[in-house]
Amino acid sequence: MQTPRRWAARAGALLALAVCCCAARAGDVSWTQAKVSPAINYKNVAVATAYLPDAAAAPIAPGARITRVHAMRSYGGGSMVQTEVCWDGTSRCIPMTGGSINTHEFNGLDPSRPMYLVHKVPGEGRGPLPAPVFVKGSVVVWYAP
């Protein structure tokens, strides 16, 4: 059985670890943007939506680097939508499973470049969907100046 002193020592160690982890991230800043995609009208036709830092906000310093990216999406209707999160175009992408993703996959990259959410409704052929699908998305990019 653990003594109260051992529990206190472990709790203190966990608290110290938490403080150190938070302090390591204290210098990070972020930008965020939320948008609705254009209509997805056909199966297997990708629709990309660009997310950019706010031009009216303080500029991102040269040499800044991404430390984490969070993306979310939601949509209505009966279609299944596949989404990829991409950096600076549509060639460097990772799949989003579920309604959101937190990733370090883009760490070290330039946070002033756009992020993209690329959506498509999979299926046979490229036929029309019964109704257009609009995807609400948001992206948060944390970076170290």
Amino acid at site 52: L
Count of domains forming the chain: 1
In a domain, 20, yes or no: no
**Sign of the alpha-carbon dihedral angle for 51, 53, 55, 57:** positive
pLDDT of residue 57: 86
pLDDT of residue 23: 36
In a domain, 8, yes or no: no
Beta strands in the chain (DSSP E): 29-36, 40-42, 47-51, 65-75, 82-87, 92-96, 100-103, 115-120, 128-133, 135-144
In a domain, 21, yes or no: no
In a domain, 59, yes or no: yes
More confident position, 2 or 64: 64
Radius of gyration of the chain (CA): 20
Contact (Cβ atoms closer than 8 angstroms) between residue 127 and residue 45 = no
In the predicted structure, residue 104 carries a pLDDT above the cut 70: yes
**Sign of the alpha-carbon dihedral angle for 16, 20, 21, 25:** positive
State the average pLDDT over residues 44-65. 95
H-type alpha helices, the chain: 4-25
The domain of 45 spans: 27-144
* CATH code for the domain in which residue 109 is found: 2.60.120.260
In a domain, 99, yes or no: yes
In a domain, 130, yes or no: yes
Nearest to 33 by CA among 72, 83, 79, 64: 72
State the average pLDDT over residues 79-99. 97
In a domain, 32, yes or no: yes
pTM, full prediction: 0.81
At residue 15, the 3 state secondary structure works out as helix
More confident position, 114 or 12: 114
In a domain, 15, yes or no: no
